[in-house]
Chain A
Amino acid sequence: NAGVTQTPKFRVLKTGQSMTLLCAQDMNHEYMYWYRQDPGMGLRLIHYSVGEGTTAKGEVPDGYNVSRLKKQNFLLGLESAAPSQTSVYFCASSSRQYTEAFFGQGTRLTVV
């Protein structure tokens, strides 16, 4: 049972490049989340999804897009990377609201 798996684990991008981060969960969870974590700032919610085919904006959605075409996958896209998007990105999933969320191992993204 893998839980929540993020791909890739590390990535370096040049300013203006695009990329997609993949999150996969095998727990049949309805809810999925993308966060970014910056030093001294805790976690900030980028986008979330409450079910297959649905997405919604979180606290810091600008510069990111997401898709949830399959229940088990949640994709985070950066269309034109900026240095301000250098961060550690975490995906999480939960069975419903107000319950334990399970996190992936994170993706460390550097934009130069």
Chain B
Amino acid sequence: LAKTTQPISMDSYEGQEVNITCSHNNIATNDYITWYQQFPSQGPRFIIQGYKTKVTNEVASLFIPADRKSSTLSLPRVSLSDTAVYYCLVEVSNYQLIWGAGTKLIIKP
């Protein structure tokens, strides 16, 4: 059974690149990895999704090594508004949705 593990919290500074890693053992070849962002008193918001190598969109990049035992969300040049909780999600083929406990990211000026 897949399980996701991510750091509880991280700090960084404005303008820096932030990398948040999620460990996920026992995931299958076709399982997708998705990252969401959540602000207080709001629902999670989709950031990026992939299942192998590298995916990039206008706000983030997702790196998945060949063994797929982890994935890294990369946020380029963060700002204060990126302070939020970031969740890693593994979507397994039989409708299992395995969420990490979330990483609280604090961006300092």
Interface residues of A (CB under 8 A from B): 4, 33, 40-45, 48, 50, 56, 58-59, 90, 92, 97-106
Knowing A42-B87, A42-B102, A45-B97, say if A98 contacts B44 (CB, 8 Å).
no
Knowing A43-B87, A45-B97, A98-B91, say if A104 contacts B43 (CB, 8 Å).
yes
A56 to B96, CA, bound (A): 11
B95 CB contacts on chain A under 8 angstroms:
48, 50, 56, 97
The 9 tightest CB contacts between A and B, nearest first, are A103-B43, A42-B99, A100-B46, A42-B101, A43-B99, A98-B32, A45-B97, A90-B43, A103-B44
State the interface size on chain B (CB cutoff 8 A): 18
B54 an interface residue at 8 Å Cβ cutoff?
no
Residue of A nearest to B47 (CB): A100
Flag if B44 contacts A90 (CB, 8 Å): yes
B71 CB contacts on chain A under 8 angstroms:
none
Question: Per a CB cutoff under 8 Å, which of A43, A56, A97 touches B44?
Answer: A43
